[in-house]
């Protein structure tokens, strides 16, 4: 099943709380999620992400159903890498009510297309070891595991992925 006529666009200021809430709900709904170092606060802080990167939403029937943070360059405070040829994606989240409709794939593809247009050579991301559905999505889109960029925050292991454009 897919959503009908989804629209992807930059998040509006009036939607920051909604995107923060749905991001927290999506992450807290994952088996294995742990609020390490106040990560829930970071997930909720969409206004902060907008200052340092681009946040896009997917809207279905006038309702925001998901969001993604696009980090265009390694100099952004939100960058988790130092590769000047790479962009990155962070905090992909789909409202629990809309999961399984293909919206995560649409948002991810949107950022890949944006990255390509900006001249990036690759896209990097990290995904927690317990985010199995995200791993399947990324791998199905051509991302490959890059263990040399893995890192951990307390008990959470973050797995590195790369897609060459």
Neighbours of 25 (CB within 10 A): 15
Q: Is 32 domain-assigned?
A: yes
Residue 77 is part of which domain span? 7-120
| CB within 8 Å of 21: residues ≥ 6 apart | 44
Q: Is 77 domain-assigned?
A: yes
Q: What is the pLDDT of residue 154?
A: 87
Per-residue b or e along 116-155, where b marks 16 or more CB atoms closer than 10 Å to that residue's CB: eeeebebbbbbbbeebeebbebbeeeebeebeebeeeeee
Q: What CATH number corresponds to the domain at position 50? A: 3.40.630.30
Tens digit of each residue's pLDDT (9 = 90 or more) over 21-72: 999 999 999 888 888 888 899 999 999 999 999 999 999 999 999 999 999 9
């Amino acid at each position: 099943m897919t959503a009908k006529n989804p629209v992807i666009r930059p998040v509006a200021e009036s939607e920051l709380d909604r995107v923060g809430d749905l991001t927290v709900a999506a992450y807290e709904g994952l088996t294995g999620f742990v609020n390490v170092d106040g990560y829930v606060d970071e997930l909720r802080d969409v206004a902060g992400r907008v200052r340092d990167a681009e946040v896009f939403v997917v809207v279905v029937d006038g309702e925001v159903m998901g969001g993604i943070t696009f980090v265009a360059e390694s100099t952004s405070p939100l960058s988790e890498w130092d590769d000047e040829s790479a962009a990155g994606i962070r905090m992909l989240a789909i409202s629990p009510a809309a999961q399984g409709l293909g919206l995560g794939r649409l948002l991810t593809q949107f950022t890949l297309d944006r990255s390509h247009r900006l001249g990036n050579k690759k896209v990097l991301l990290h995904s927690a070891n317990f985010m199995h559905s995200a791993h399947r999505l990324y791998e199905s889109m051509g991302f490959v595991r890059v263990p040399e960029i893995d890192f951990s925050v307390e008990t959470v292991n973050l797995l590195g992925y790369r897609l060459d454009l």
